Amino acid sequence: MKQPQSRIKAVEWRGDTCRLLDQTRIPGRETYIDCRDYREVVDAIRSLAVRGAPAIGVAGAFAVVLAARSAKDLKEPKPFFEKALLEIREARPTAVNLSWAVERMRGVAESTGLDADRLLQEAEALHAEDIQFNLDIARHGLELFDRKISVGTYCNTGDLATGGVGTAFGLIHGAYLNDRVSHVYTCETRPVLQGLRLTAWELYKNEIPFTAICDNMAASLMAAGRIEAVFLGADRIAANGDAANKIGTYALAVAAKYHGIPFYVVAPSSTFDLSLASGAEIPIEQRDAKEILSVLGDNTPPEAWPVYNPAFDVTPHQLITGIVCERGVLKAPYAENIGSVLG
């Protein structure tokens, strides 16, 4: 099979610096943020300069390295380091990859005594694993196609959201290279337009035929037979297969179910949280009202208007056709199969 190639580096380690591609400037400008302090990485995660569950996991691991380097010159390094780990872990609460990466790095720190060089080795190993997981996901995803089809996607799951070629985007890209995808419809993904700004940009750069659509257009395209399957990512998957993803995913899943269209969640094993029995236990991040009101531009109301702005919603496992991870395609019953494959 032809494998997709990564053209974009959302996060990487350079010398003594964690370099992040500033995703708030895309598609207009490609600018980078060079972080030499863990707090700069935390700020970048919170502001969505770096985003996507796997990518913020990698960025979080590099932030731990920076925290260890700052701690080593202090009289009492451990309290500083523990505080830093907490700040990194809580930068975004829904994406479990971040806390997973921090805890993995904590384990190394506890066994090596804040050895920054050893921590850097672990962070780079974590990054390399994510790159390989993306390729494995793309390979397993080909099993899902018996003909060439047009597909839909939501939010952003490509190079920008991961350490490699992407999760759902990497799967779609691989399927396109192997003549299984003819066209991609990418939803704009309100309120901060990750689909329009980021996924469309990646599709354009990789020369994959696509059309950007408003979120409320997807159901009509399903009815017209122009979206034949949906592939999208996740920020946390519970033990029963319920999946948290960018707000609006649930509505897309309902529309797909009604139209009899396969709906696939694509994520690495680090996105599963087997400590949670169901999606009801997944913490949902609430974000600033400005992200919604910004659509009004110069007409933003002078008074503060009440706004509900959750960053994610939870799609029940009953609406999910399959979950693709680096170990294969998981199908219902999810509680049993997730446990046997990942537990």
Specify the residue for token string 């609406």.
319
Q: Which two tokens stand for residue 30?
A: 């490609």
- Residue 314 near residue 235 (C-beta atoms within 8 A): no
Kindly report the number of other CB atoms within 10 A of residue 222's CB atom.
22
Handedness of CA 337, 163, 195, 138 (dihedral sign): negative
Nearest to 263, CA basis, from 281, 280, 245, 278: 245
DSSP string, 127-159: HHHHHHHHHHHHHHHGGG-SS-EEEEE-S--SG
To which H or E segment does residue 185 belong?
Answer: strand 181-187
3-state DSSP call for residue 241? coil
By DSSP bridging, strand 243-246 and strand 236-238 are: antiparallel
- Write the CB contacts of 205 (distance below 8 Å, at least 6 apart in sequence): 7, 8
Helices H / strands E in the chain, number of each = 12, 14
Specify the residue for token string 């395609």.
329
235 assigned to active site: yes
Q: For residue 138, with 0-12 CB atoms within 10 Å meaning exposed, 13-18 middle and 19 or more buried, which class applies? A: buried
- The catalytic residue among 130, 159, 215, 235 is 235
Nearest to 194, CA basis, from 247, 126, 266, 260: 247
Kindly report the number of other CB atoms within 10 A of residue 310's CB atom.
12
Catalytic residue list: 235
